[in-house]
Structure 1
Amino acid sequence: MSLPNADKCEKGVQTMTRTKKFSKLFHELKRRRKDKQKQKIEEMNRLIEEMNEVELKSIFTKELFDKMSKMINEKKLSLEKAIVLLKHVGCCEMLKHISFYSFDNSLLSKRMKEMTIDENEKKKDEKHLADLCECYALLNDKEFPEELIPICLPCLLKVASKKERNKETQKEVEMALLALGNIGFWEMRRELYLNEIKEIIKYHQEHHNLTHLAYGCAWKFLYNRYFNDRSLEDVIVNELHFARESRRELEELTKSVDWKRKDEEKGEREAKEALAFWRWFYVIDFYFNFCELWSVEWEGFISSIVQVFRASRGNHKDIHDKCFDILRYAADIRNVKIDDLLKSGAIGAVVEEIQQPTINDDLIKNCYYFFLNFSERLKEKDDGETDETKRKELKRKIFEKMEEEGYEDVMASFHKVFEILYRKIYPRISFDVSDNFVNV
């Protein structure tokens, strides 16, 4: 029988081994012949892929980036080889969904910014300029420098627009989109990006040439622009059909996951699967929070959320909870019609949730708010349905659905729980549960 702390000790040894090995390889770079540096960097890149957030942050400090800047300046490390390492670091930072922040205040950040501006003025080597732009955009976690926007944006969009179907080009396109997706909410002139990013998204919709990651980054870049330019809403909703595309992406991601995998088979793969969903949840949050246009694609879009919600129940808690948040919010916002919620299966899925054998106060609260949101909307006559006959028919359908699922009986059984929640935590909750029933 192993000791309780045996696993922790073993992980500690592994961590020490990886970080020390990386530090040793980095130290050897400046003493190796240039033809040997490539091999060392390849080893370092493999180690980076194996590291977790704690390990990476312990290594990629301001001091290390400063040392790299000095090595490049002293010609102990070529800029080309440094770029290979730095692009891999930035890519892993994005894939593992972490931020270093140590790069932003380093000498290397300042040097790369200056080199990017210089290289753009020379206008000699587009590939080298693209490499510099990608490195800076991937590693930068602060506000993107205003003077680099007119340089990096056209350069990265040009690379991301390549249409050749070969492995090397695909890698270049994905790296450029990854870099674009990491450029924050800085306001940009439409002429710098809009036609190009629309063409990239439309081309993928027709040819499916991008990975889930690259396509998600293209949308993330566009939504980051929408933060300062709400007139992009029609482009997002009606021209590029985000709801339709998001449904397709979520359905493909759902099919790729083995939801019934045993606990001992979970781990790193589960974490990667979760990150793939979270990238889409990022842009979905923007869609729900800021887009006010209704679309006929809403019903199908919400049904895909319901599909993930059901599939992740009891398997992926973070994904399941996030889907619940989205459904609860969808029940509240006016650009999602209640009929969309009914036809998408959202109502039935939430009723199923409160019938689960294991239920806690937070789960009860979420279920309660979901039904409270749309029951209040049915009373207000502002759901976009002006025909009273149609409104009554909709209420009747919902009443029958909830009665069929046993909703009122379940909610009534939580009467005491509502009273406790009302008094202690959630003052919006009424412990008169009849307030939440649909009255036909």
Structure 2
Amino acid sequence: MTTSRIKMFNELFSELEDCNEEEQKQKIEEMNGLMEEMDEKELISVIIKELFNRILKMIEEKKLTMGNAILLLKHMGYCKALKKIMTLFFERSSLNKRFKKMIIDENEKKEGKDEKLMADLCECIFLISHLFLTLPKELYGICVPCLLNVALKKEKDEETQKEVEMALFAFSCISRYYQIEKELYLKEITEIIKYHQEHHNLTRLAYQSAWKFLMDRLLQESSLEDTIVNELHFEREARREVEELSKGVDWKKKEEEMGETERKAMDIISRWFGPIGYYFYSCHLWNEEYVELISRIVDLFRASRDNHSEISEQCINLFAEITKNKAIQNGSLLKSGVVDLFLEEMAQRTLNGVSVQKWKEFICALSKSLKEKANEENSEAVLKKTNRQIFDKLEEEGYEDAIISIQKIKHFSFRVFDLGSSLNISDCFIII
């Protein structure tokens, strides 16, 4: 079937230049359907430099209309970004340069500016470039407002929702390491998120994409904290989205047994880990909703640990990140159930090396957090009391057994995964 999909895609592509515009569109829709069915390996085999060169040549020779080229390329980028495929063929192609020039030329027109064409070209570039998106500052200044204008559409019909989803998904591909002036996006992205919270007009992927873009900016712009925490209520929204998406998944099934709807829900859940992780890494305004969000991640771990290791390992990564956040009170770690979950996991004798390493990172991060907070002058007595509660809980409910469990398999797992920290896990919990 793999060979068949690739072969069919290439055959359809080779037939495009001999078709009229309507026939081209029909074949491209078939190609788009094939790309949706392809796995990462298959998609990589068709998104190659030669493909982009041929598309450009066909456009220049008027054998492929620009509208149909965009129809193919936009969906290609959408599938590439969804599957998180990393290739640089488009970025190094002449087609990429041509599209960038077209955007600039269109923007410079005094009259008759084609906003839809500009948005389509921006989406193609952002989506196909994905993790390697780099643009001149001038182009960000054109593309960001252009995509936001599309994303601000508020109609609930399916066609508009798809347009908005594509624009926001493309928007979310802007690197978190690229700083964009707040004046270009903050008012609009805040309006988009607030409007959805009240009217539920976005798809789940579109809503997650809006948050991803905003949380990526937080890494560079700490002044966004107040908007994210107190105005847009990230913790509440992330908790609700993860909770509702989880209800749509039968976690007892293995991934290959799941239907398309369940797989899509899992994919969006996985995508929420990025914004949540950036949030705990970058945001230091305490909010009581922290506990509920962490509790939902604990629930998600329990649901996914048997059949979906990728999700459960992402959960453990978040637990380690959470303990590093100085705004989180130690008592909240008890309330959220993370400490109970750690003990529950360490009681297992079947943990693999990756899981042990990730739990080791969590407990060492927790130990460091407890020590640091116990030494703070202003609330030393209160914190020591909380730390003692955590320590007593670990001793009472099996911490020593947990140490033994880790040490039994540490020689394999830590030899492979440890990056230099102490192998003596019992040293991690000298707290008081």
1:159 deviates by 0.8
* AA aligned opposite 2:97: K
SS of 2:359's equivalent in the other structure is helix
Q: Output the CA distance in 1 between the equivalents of 2:203 and 2:193.
A: 12
* AA aligned opposite 1:63: E
Match of residue 8 from structure 1: none
1:105 deviates by 1.4
1:354 deviates by 0.6
- 1:251-266 mapped onto 2 (5 Å cutoff): 251-262=243-254, 265-266=257-258
1:391 deviates by 2.9
Shift in alpha-carbon separation, 1:286–1:383, aligned structure 2, 3 A: farther
* 1:24 equivalent in alignment to 2:11: yes
SS of 1:331's equivalent in the other structure is helix
Match of residue 429 from structure 2: 436
* 1:225 equivalent in alignment to 2:245: no
SS of 2:18's equivalent in the other structure is coil
Output one character per residue of 1:126-145: Cα deviation in whole Å (capped at 9) or x when no partner. 22222222222222233123
Match of residue 174 from structure 1: 165
Conserved 8 A contact 2:148-2:167: yes
Shift in alpha-carbon separation, 1:304–1:35, aligned structure 2, 3 A: same
> How does the TM-score come out when normalised to structure 1?
0.88
Conserved 8 A contact 1:161-1:196: yes
Conserved 8 A contact 1:144-1:183: no
Moved more, 211-220 or 192-201: 211-220
1:17 deviates by 2.0
Bigger Rg over Cα:
1
1:380 deviates by 3.8
Aligned residue-pair number: 426
Conserved 8 A contact 1:153-1:193: yes
Q: Output the CA distance in 2 between the equivalents of 1:377 and 1:43.
A: 54
Match of residue 142 from structure 1: 133
Conserved 8 A contact 1:395-1:438: yes
Moved more, 374-383 or 354-363: 374-383
Output one character per residue of 1:382-417: Cα deviation in whole Å (capped at 9) or x when no partner. 587844553344234324533453223442465565
Match of residue 117 from structure 2: 128
Moved more, 278-287 or 368-377: 368-377
Output one character per residue of 1:179-214: Cα deviation in whole Å (capped at 9) or x when no partner. 111122322222111100111111112222222211
Shift in alpha-carbon separation, 1:262–1:379, aligned structure 2, 3 A: closer
Aligned pair partner of 1:116 in 69, 92, 103: 103
Conserved 8 A contact 1:299-1:341: yes
Q: Output the CA distance in 2 between the equivalents of 1:46 and 1:372.
A: 47
Match of residue 6 from structure 1: none
> How does the TM-score come out when normalised to structure 2?
0.89
Shift in alpha-carbon separation, 1:404–1:77, aligned structure 2, 3 A: same
Match of residue 78 from structure 1: 65
* 1:299 equivalent in alignment to 2:296: no
Unaligned runs of 5+ in 1: 1-13
Match of residue 62 from structure 1: 49
RMSD: 2.7
Moved more, 315-324 or 48-57: 48-57
Match of residue 74 from structure 2: 87
Q: Output the CA distance in 2 between the equivalents of 1:434 and 1:65.
A: 56
* AA aligned opposite 1:127: K
Aligned pair partner of 1:195 in 161, 177, 187: 187
Unaligned runs of 5+ in 2: none
1:215 deviates by 1.0
Conserved 8 A contact 1:354-1:363: no
Moved more, 270-279 or 349-358: 270-279
1:62 deviates by 1.6
- 1:344-383 mapped onto 2 (5 Å cutoff): 344-382=336-374
1:286 deviates by 1.4
Q: Output the CA distance in 1 between the equivalents of 2:100 and 2:196.
A: 32
Output one character per residue of 1:407-430: Cα deviation in whole Å (capped at 9) or x when no partner. 234424655656888899576436
